[in-house]
Amino acid sequence: MTVLAQVLQLVGGWIASLIIFFAKRQSRLVSFHSLQVLFLELVFRVLNLFLMFLVVGFLRAFLNAHGGNNAPPLALLLTFPVFWLCLTGAWVVKLVIAVVYSINAGGGEWAEYPLLGARARRVLNIEPGGAAS
């Protein structure tokens, strides 16, 4: 289940991890890995929203500066590829994280995501290495 929690983030996003988190709540290892994935999904959702607001704000500012011109705005032609590259880069990072940590989880390791792993341990009251606190 720990491997599923890590791998299913690529196709199921936060929903698959949330289901695994509640279905296997009695297992500290599964809860830990699925909660890490939930936190990672939250970070990526916030990043996506931030990028979208940034792009929309930039486009609005550009359109307001150039009045009622009906031609496709140059800002759209410039910001869309940057926005797409940022989202694609974030997905590649997520893919690498899913593969690396699913291998670790398959070995029964308490592998922590940087920054998010410590928070997941605090939420679940788990010491490093899986001991209950």
For 29-59, how does the pLDDT look when each residue is reduced to its tens digit (9 = 90+)?
899 999 999 999 999 999 889 988 887 887 7
Which residues are CB-contacts of 31 (< 8 A; sequence separation ≥ 6)? 21, 24, 25, 124
Kindly state whether residue 26 falls inside one of the protein's structural domains.
Answer: yes
| Rounded mean pLDDT, 110-129 | 87
43 belongs to a structural domain: yes
Whether pTM exceeds 0.85: no
* 133 part of a folded domain: no
Q: Say how far residue 64 (Cα) sits from the centre of its chain.
A: 33
How far, rounded to the nearest angstrom, does the alpha carbon of residue 45 sit from its chain's CA centroid?
6
Domain of residue 87, residue span: 2-124
Inside any domain, residue 131: no
The answer to whether residue 120 sits within a structural domain is yes
Cα–Cα distances in Å, from 94 out to 24, 52, 89, 127?
23, 19, 9, 26
- For the chain, how many structural domains are there in total? 1
Region 60-66 average pLDDT: 72
In a domain, 132, yes or no: no
Q: What is the mean pLDDT of the chain?
A: 85
Is 130 within the bounds of a domain?
Answer: no
Helix (H, G, I), strand (E, B) or coil at 68: coil
State the average pLDDT over residues 115-120. Answer: 89
Q: Is the model's pLDDT at 132 over the cut of 90?
A: no
The amino acid at residue 72 is: P
Residues 6+ apart with CB under 8 A from 28: 124, 126, 130, 132
Residue 116 lies in a domain: yes
